[in-house]
Amino acid sequence: MATKTKNSIIEKVSELAQSVARMATENEHSSDISFLFLKKLKQVIDFDAATIYQYSELTKELEKVASIGSDVELLESLSLDMGTGISAWTADSNEPILIADRSQKKRFNPEEDYACFLSAPLVTNDELLGVLNFGSHTPNKFNDSDIMVLKLVSAIYLPIKKLEQQMKYQKELEQSLDIFRDEITSISKKSIDINTVEKIAKDTSAIIHGINNSLSIVLGNIQCILLSKDNFNQKTMARIKRIEEAAKRITESNKQILNLHNLVDPDDNLEKG
């Protein structure tokens, strides 16, 4: 009878492995592989709720990755190196914990609490993958056969964890690429702005050179008039003098604008003109 039961368990796990393989292929870009795995596992172990915790090599702690029903956990006040609750205890001891009937406890609430609880480590080749917790409202729902199933299931879950890690890294890479693209776009826009400023500066330079040329002619003629002093009364001479001073101030202002242009485009020889 024991051999028949064992063969039945192996057959169920084999079917589960094939189902999981198809699932991983069909959902290789899904972020819910562990959730889909739990749905497949329910065909082998009849539970009301289940939670998967993965062991993180980075944080050295258990991290919840999927649940069916409400989260399954006991003794959440218990704190260990790998996390909190029975899950951390299971991971630390590397042994399954089965509480067959909790319904006789004084503080048991049949509407919220699970009458039967099972916590099992997911281990393959001495590598801790995580912890599986199961809850059932039916007392004595889980037994040693379920523990045997979970020992075999660990090997099936390894590629699922690897696939999820790969997808996580791929998502992080895509996010990094998006940030990089945004930065490149921002730099590109700034380059456009700089090019626009340079064009405006060059256009302004050309205009200023034109103004300077005209002012040179004006100043030259004014100076000739002042030197000749022919038939001009004192009032007229004063006005011509003010025009000369104004022309000189404009010339000085133009020089300052050209100096600003040199800051924008220092390679441009603005003295040519």
pLDDT of residue 67: 93
Percentages helix, strand, coil for the chain, rounded to the nearest 5?
Answer: 60, 15, 25
Q: How high is the pLDDT of residue 1?
A: 44
Give the closest residue to 270 by CA, choosing from 176, 214, 204, 189.
Answer: 204
Computed on alpha carbons and rounded to an integer, the radius of gyration of the chain in Å comes to 41
The letter for the amino acid at 213 is N
The 10s digit of each residue's pLDDT in 109-126 is: 878 889 999 999 999 888
Residue 68: the pLDDT is: 93
Phi, psi of 51 (to 5 degrees): -135, 135
Q: Would you say 91 and 131 are in contact if contact means Cβ atoms under 8 Å apart? A: yes
What was the pLDDT predicted at 50? 95
Sequence spans of domains, the chain: 2-162, 179-264
List all residues 6 or more positions away from 165 whose beta carbon is below 8 Å from its beta carbon: none
What size, in residues, is the chain? Answer: 273
pLDDT of residue 142: 94
Query: Structure tokens of 239?
Result: 């006005």
d(CA 19, CA 102): 33
- Give the residue ranges of the chain where pLDDT is below 70: 1-7, 21, 23-31, 169-170, 173, 180, 184, 187-240, 242-244, 246-247, 253-273
Q: pLDDT, tens digit, for every residue of 173-227?
A: 677 777 767 776 776 666 556 666 666 666 666 666 666 666 666 666 666 665 6
Q: In this predicted structure, what is the pLDDT of residue 139?
A: 93
The predicted structure's pLDDT at residue 271: 47
Q: So what's the pLDDT on residue 12?
A: 74
Arch. (CATH architecture) of 2-162: 2-Layer Sandwich (3.30)
Checking DSSP bridges between strand 116-124 and strand 127-136, what pairing results, if any?
antiparallel
pTM score, whole prediction: 0.59
Question: CA-CA distance, 186 to 192, in Å (whole number)?
Answer: 10
Q: How far apart are CA 174 and CA 165, in angstroms?
A: 14
Phi, psi of 228 (to 5 degrees): -75, -40
